[in-house]
């Protein structure tokens, strides 16, 4: 038991949504979403790629209702813009880090 990792079993209630943003898109859009094992895979791949992972159960629940490749609705513009601005500031402080702005994965745990 002592050798088991706490997250060894995927959490079936965990959800993840990946967004991307390019100025030509007009608004961020959903590029991946899932729950349980799929959510875990989205999060693992994002971290491996150096993509910022932000945990926000409320935001994820809203974003899970969107279809793949769908742009976020205007009601979420402010929340997403604030998050992207924060990521941008972090990136400016770490010039040698991989650019994360435009690729943000949101996830939630129970």
Query: pLDDT digits over 82-106, tens only?
Result: 888 888 887 777 654 444 334 455 5
The H or E element that residue 104 is part of is: strand 103-108
Integer CA distances (angstroms), 33 to 7, 19, 67, in order = 20, 9, 9
Residue 1 has pLDDT above 90, yes or no: no
Q: How confident is the model at residue 64 (pLDDT cuts 50, 70, 90)?
A: very high
Strands (E), 11-101: 15-20, 29-35, 52-55
Phi then psi for residue 35, to 5 deg, are -135, 165
If one compares 89 and 5, the residue with the highest pLDDT of the two is: 89
Place of tokens 């994965």: 105
């Amino acid at each position: 038991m002592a050798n088991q990792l706490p997250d060894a079993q995927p959490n079936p209630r965990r959800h993840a949504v990946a967004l991307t943003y390019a100025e030509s898109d007009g608004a961020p859009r959903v590029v991946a979403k899932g729950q349980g094992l799929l959510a875990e895979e989205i999060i693992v791949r994002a971290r491996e790629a150096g993509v910022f992972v932000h945990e926000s159960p409320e935001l994820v629940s809203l974003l899970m209702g969107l279809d793949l490749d769908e742009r976020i609705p205007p009601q979420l513009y402010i929340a997403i813009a604030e998050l992207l601005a924060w990521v941008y500031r972090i990136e400016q402080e770490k010039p040698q880090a991989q650019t994360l702005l435009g690729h943000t994965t949101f996830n939630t745990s129970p």
